[in-house]
Structure 1
Amino acid sequence: MPRQADHELRRRQIARAVWRLATRGGLEDVTLRQVAAEAGVSARLLQYYFGTRDRLLLGALEILNSDAEQRARERLAALGEAPDRRALVRGVLLELLPLDEERRNRHLVYAAYFIPFATDPALAAAARDAPRALEALVADLLSQGRKLGQVLPGVDIEAESALLVAGATGLQTSVLLGQQSPERAVELIDHRLGGVFTPVAG
């Protein structure tokens, strides 16, 4: 067990080095040697844990996603034992916004992955499924909300889930660039949810 734990710590140490390089200057020209120097490990050790550059970038992203999912679960759990579906959908969408230092840093790293994912066929496939997974989660929550009478009649669940995720993703970029404040981004999310869910009683 300690040996496996040491492996995980080393992988995370290297992943954090990728994240730091990503936020400082992007990932297009980052090399294994640069990551090794940033992580304070040998290039040989880095290759032992991740192999190729593509596997390193994907591995670092997987660790980042795993951390993000864990924090999202914790924040959603903090909503209480039986939150309504609007609160859950809102919680999912707010994870896409840079509302604090942790989420801001994470989304800066995601932004650095954009060009490699858009131009490298070997990496592009890894990027395609993430929005669909989020859309499926939001669609499922909207379907549950409809059964509970919490979603307005006539809402197209598939279209709305896609628009909600795309809208939150667009707001993420606007906040990072300073075009929208975090508070305004949350207001816009709440405004859109008001057109999807029935008013909260009381």
Structure 2
Amino acid sequence: MDSDTVPTTRAPAELVALRHDRLRRTAPAVQHEVNNALMVLSSNLELLGRHAVEGAPRRQLDRALEAMRRLEATVRGYLDAARREAEDPAAVAPDAAVRQALPLLRVVLGNRFAVDLEGPEKGLPAVQLDRGRLDLALLCLVRDAAGRMAHGARILVRAEDRGTEVALALDLPEGAAPEGDAARMLAEAAEVTGGRFARLPAGIVLSWPRAG
């Protein structure tokens, strides 16, 4: 093949990687544009709120403000995940990582289910954690679970300080136990940075040694 010839097609795996990389690099610009639009929307709704009378006008305005807050949380959660490298190791508190991902996880689950985070008010100590792997693992878990759980089921993530370790204990309803890619990704999310993955009768635990 001539050295100046450009291939007309790419291998599927290369195309997927290139697509994801370009979309990831676009995420910060999208976030900036969304932030600007939401700022304008928020300021105008606040101005309207100064003149809204009680009753139907106030209720409509409150619903609009709540919808804006949900939109902001959802878009921020999606773009935070989209802009992250596939491998993103850093010192971070596991509960903070989950809290940032919650809006996106809730969108994936839909209105029929719930996912919540509980933990100490002061938060967990930092650990060496691969955020890219953890985000992907949790997305795989909830997407699979949404197709198998009973209506109204709830996934609870409990953040726990266990002394030399910190942990995320996931209470999983029937049908939500991770299988296949989800199970492998959850194990990798813990083990690649020196943590542990364990199955329990009604859930799983990811734990890591404290950073430093």
The structure whose RCO (Cα within 8 Å, separation 6+) is larger is: 1
**So what's the TM-score if we normalise by structure 1?**
0.30
Larger radius of gyration: 2
Higher helix share: 1
